[in-house]
Amino acid sequence: WATLADARFTDGPANDGDSFVVTHRGGTHTLRLYFVDCCEKRRYDLVRSRIVDQAAYFGGITETQVITLGRRARDRTKELLTTRPARYHTRWERVFDSERFYAHVEVQTESGDWQQLAAVLVAEGLARIHTKPADLPDGTAAVQFTGTLRQLERTARTRRLGGWQHAAAPPAD
């Protein structure tokens, strides 16, 4: 893993809850979180089917609620990455044929512990578990972290947090 020491979140129009630009050593890189997918923040033809999938995942919410949730996720990610220390880890693995690179991102909690940004987003009901997994830089196996995410999602769904707030279907156990 390459740890991007002193990387900083950079505002940009393409930033969303799971992909964002960081500045590092005079250059910029677009990073994409492993494990999670945040809802779309706007409508356009290329994401129409993804919005339908995201709406179904969160229990049948509306397209407008998907877009609102995507914007909330974008804002929450920005808030965390601009107000707390963060650590960015990547293997420079490209996301499909794009200019983005998969990454694990940790944010420091108020107690001083480090928590995966993906876990924060799932725990708050702002992301679905859906995309490429990878073992964590600390050696935690991807399958173990997926289990952690599933538990966080169950709790968010039960508490009707984030996207689960307006779910048409009752929370599953």
What pLDDT, in 10s, does the model give residues 40-80?
998 887 778 899 999 999 999 999 999 999 999 999 999 99
Cβ count near 22 (within 10 Å): 22
Residue 93 pLDDT > 60, yes or no?
A: yes
- Looking at residue 154, its pLDDT comes to 97
How much is the pTM? 0.95
* Residue type at position 91: R
Give the integer Cα–Cα distance in Å for 79 and 57.
25
Q: Who wins on pLDDT, 114 or 48? A: 114
- Looking at residue 168, its pLDDT comes to 76
Give the integer Cα–Cα distance in Å for 43 and 119.
26
pLDDT band of 173, cuts 50, 70, 90: low
Average pLDDT, the chain: 94
Give the integer Cα–Cα distance in Å for 121 and 131.
14
* Residue type at position 81: L
- Looking at residue 9, its pLDDT comes to 98
Positions of E strands within the chain: 2-3, 8-10, 19-24, 27-33, 36-37, 86-94, 100-108, 114-116, 128-129
- Looking at residue 44, its pLDDT comes to 81
| Least confidently predicted of 6-15, 37-46, 78-87 | 37-46
DSSP label of 131: S
Give the integer Cα–Cα distance in Å for 12 and 74.
11
For range 18-41, the mean pLDDT: 96
Give the integer Cα–Cα distance in Å for 13 and 162.
23
HSE-CB for 13 with a 13 A CA cutoff = 1
pLDDT band of 172, cuts 50, 70, 90: low
- Looking at residue 6, its pLDDT comes to 93
pLDDT above 90 covers a percentage of the chain that reads 88
Query: Among 45, 63, 33, 12, which Cα is nearest to 128's?
Result: 33
Phi-psi region of 39 (alpha: psi -120 to 50; beta: other; left: phi over 0): beta
